[in-house]
Amino acid sequence: MITVLRHPLVDHRLAYLRDVATKPKLFRELVSELTVFLAYEALRDLLRTTEITVETPLTTTVGKKVADEIVIVPILRAGMGMLDGMLSILPYAKVGVLGMQRNEETAEPIPYYAKVPPAHGEELAVLIDPMFATGGSAIDAVSQLKKLGYRRIVFLSLVAAPEGISRFEQRHPDVSVFTAAKDECLNSRHYIVPGLGDAGDRIFGTL
Ligand code: PRP
Ligand code: URA
């Protein structure tokens, strides 16, 4: 199932993120801020809590603390741009990385690196990648995580194409997806339209 964020503060940031004139410094800041909004929404019903006793200045009450172990998994390279935002609200999370490079002609993902903590099955893996185009990278990344034993996985993206969404839903119907925007289509080079261009290049200033 895919959830598209619906909020004026998200739309405002997306407009600047898409703008071709936005430079890497602002682009990175916008990616981080949007990631916080995405995580806030996505984790609402996924994170499990345990009750704790809290002494207020007036009385004793029941509070809640997060009980889940969380593993954040950015897909290299562009997913790294979302890591700061994730860690700002989940500072105790573990981080695993999956390296993936799209073939420029076919858009097939070529996995080149994987370093992900071992799974015991109960932890929550939060896969992050700003661009969800053909869906190939996300599909492969989730397959890798499942092979490693992860059973609770959520995928966060900033901009998604309808083609990638339907492909992903067929392959991994058990994994929920959250995105800040669902765009119109892919172009002949498998780029998202209207999109924002090459997210990795814009984050890392390699245009
Ligand atoms: C981009 C993007 C995603 C992928 C999305 O990465 O960051 O990982 O393409 O496309 P898909 O849904 O069609 O798989 P790219 O391989 O260009 O590498 P980069 O992050 O290093 O720029
Ligand atoms: N990767 C990007 O960075 N942008 C797209 O539009 C598609 C894939």
Average pLDDT over residues 129-150: 98
Give the bridge partners for 53, in sequence order: 62
- The whole-angstrom separation of Cα 182 and Cα 4 is 7
DSSP, collapsed to helix, strand or coil, labels residue 63 as: strand
Residue 102 is among the residues annotated as catalytic for this protein: yes
Q: Which ligand is nearest to the CA of 198?
A: 2
pLDDT at residue 110 greater than cutoff 90: yes
Considering Cα of 101, then 107, then 110, then 113, what sign does the dihedral take? positive
**C-beta of 129 in contact with ligand 1 (< 6 A):** yes
pLDDT at 51: 98
**C-beta of 131 in contact with ligand 2 (< 6 A):** yes
Tell me if the pTM is above 0.75: yes
Average pLDDT over residues 32-57: 98
Residue 201 is among the residues annotated as catalytic for this protein: yes
State the number of CA atoms in the 13 A half-sphere of 90 facing the CB: 28
pLDDT at 75: 98
* 157-195: pLDDT as tens digits: 999 999 999 999 999 999 999 999 999 999 999 999 999
| Domain segments of the chain as ranges | 2-204
- The whole-angstrom separation of Cα 153 and Cα 23 is 32
Q: Does domain 2-204 have CATH number 1.10.3720.10?
A: no
Q: Which ligand is nearest to the CA of 75?
A: 1
pLDDT at residue 207 greater than cutoff 90: no
Residue 12: which H helix or E strand, with range? helix 8-18
